[in-house]
């Protein structure tokens, strides 16, 4: 049996995989001696440190998509679309008023102080407010305010918080990243593209500048004349996307975190790394607990086998 420091990354609903990964780690006889987490990793990490993850698994496996939507109560005023009050009440019922320093396993939740532009490590004080601060995805969930700080998701600066466990008395570090490539060998280099003007955007410009009708003085606007090819004019494309604002926010956040995670891993690689692909689930797919927990079990088992653990 080995003593293990566990690091759990951010990535919304994909964080259910953390539950399966930790379960596999413990099933092999390893002892968790330290936990750090960001966002969903902070939530699951808090449950692990409080030894309440089994109760949480039973609850989330009962969630349907409609129940998840009802829990995401809209924020009618404030800097976010969802207030998370209902979710926090459920979490308080599960965890109680426990203090971080009283947990059986040393624990760190990582949030981001927007005004100071720095990480905040919660290692003392009430557990649930620390989790609430760490999961506040900017623009989607309202920020938390603690001790005068405006706090949002820790993944903004540190999607995989390896540093808080660096001094732990552990035999190895076990990290679970939720920012894996969408497909094996997904290219990371910049893509070269040809700029194109949207037809709808061009028509809107004409209306705004009083050019909704062809200009008789401009022969190029005469519909009876054949169009002259213009090599400098990029092709026109019709918009085809129908993406919700929440999806744009979450995918933007994922893109940023993926890059930051690669740099963090290069600076401080863990002994065992479990990588959950971004394509496994969308940020708000919280009704897919069972399959994502199973995925975490499978990926953790493969990573531990590869490392001989």
Kindly list the catalytic residues: 39, 153
- Among residues 181, 193, 195, 121, the alpha carbon closest in space to that of 151 is found at 121
Spatial contact of 53 and 20, defined as CB atoms under 8 Å apart: no
Tokens at 246, concatenated: 């929440």
DSSP-assigned letter for residue 82: B
Spatial contact of 126 and 97, defined as CB atoms under 8 Å apart: yes
Tokens at 156, concatenated: 């903004």
Which neighbouring-strand residues pair with 272? 174
Three-state DSSP class for residue 115: coil
Residue 276 CB contacts under 8 Å (≥ 6 apart), including other chains: 11, 14, 17, 176, 177, 178, 180, 295, 296, 299
Strand 107-113 to strand 149-153: parallel, antiparallel, or no bridges (unpaired)? antiparallel
DSSP string, 101-132: GGSSS-EEEEEEETTTTEEEEE-SSBHHHHHH
Which neighbouring-strand residues pair with 198? 237
Q: For residue 176, which phi and psi values (nearest 5 degrees)?
A: -120, 110
How far CA 30 is from CA of 6, 27, 104, 295, 309, in Å, comes to 11, 7, 16, 20, 9
Rounded Cα distance between 192 and 40, Å, is: 34
């Amino acid at each position: 049996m080995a003593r293990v420091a566990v690091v759990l990354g951010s990535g919304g609903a994909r964080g259910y995989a953390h539950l399966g990964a930790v379960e596999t780690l413990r099933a092999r006889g390893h002892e968790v001696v330290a936990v750090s987490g960001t966002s969903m990793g902070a939530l699951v990490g808090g449950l692990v440190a409080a030894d309440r993850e089994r109760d949480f698994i039973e609850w989330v496996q009962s969630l349907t998509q409609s129940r998840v939507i009802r829990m995401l109560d809209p924020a009618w005023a404030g800097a976010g679309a969802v207030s998370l009050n209902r979710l926090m009440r459920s979490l308080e019922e599960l965890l109680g008023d426990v203090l971080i320093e009283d947990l059986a396993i040393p624990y760190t939740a990582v949030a981001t102080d927007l005004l100071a532009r720095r990480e905040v490590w919660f290692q003392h004080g009430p557990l649930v407010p620390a989790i609430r601060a760490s999961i506040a995805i900017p623009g989607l969930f309202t920020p938390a305010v603690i001790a005068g700080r405006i706090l949002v998701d820790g993944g903004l600066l540190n999607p995989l918080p390896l540093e808080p466990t660096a001094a732990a008395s552990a035999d190895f570090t076990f990290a679970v990243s939720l920012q894996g490539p969408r497909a094996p060998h997904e290219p990371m280099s910049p893509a070269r593209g040809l700029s194109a003007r949207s037809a709808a955007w061009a028509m809107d410009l004409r209306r705004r500048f009083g050019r909704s009708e062809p200009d008789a003085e401009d022969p190029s606007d005469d519909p009876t004349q054949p169009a002259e090819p213009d090599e400098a004019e990029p092709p026109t494309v019709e918009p085809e996307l129908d993406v919700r604002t929440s999806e744009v926010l979450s995918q933007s956040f994922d893109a940023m975190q993926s890059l930051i995670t690669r740099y963090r891993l290069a600076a401080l690689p863990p002994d065992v790394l479990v990588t959950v692909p971004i394509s496994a689930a969308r940020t708000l797919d919280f009704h897919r607990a069972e399959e994502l927990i199973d995925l975490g079990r499978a990926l953790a088992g493969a990573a531990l086998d590869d490392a001989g653990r």
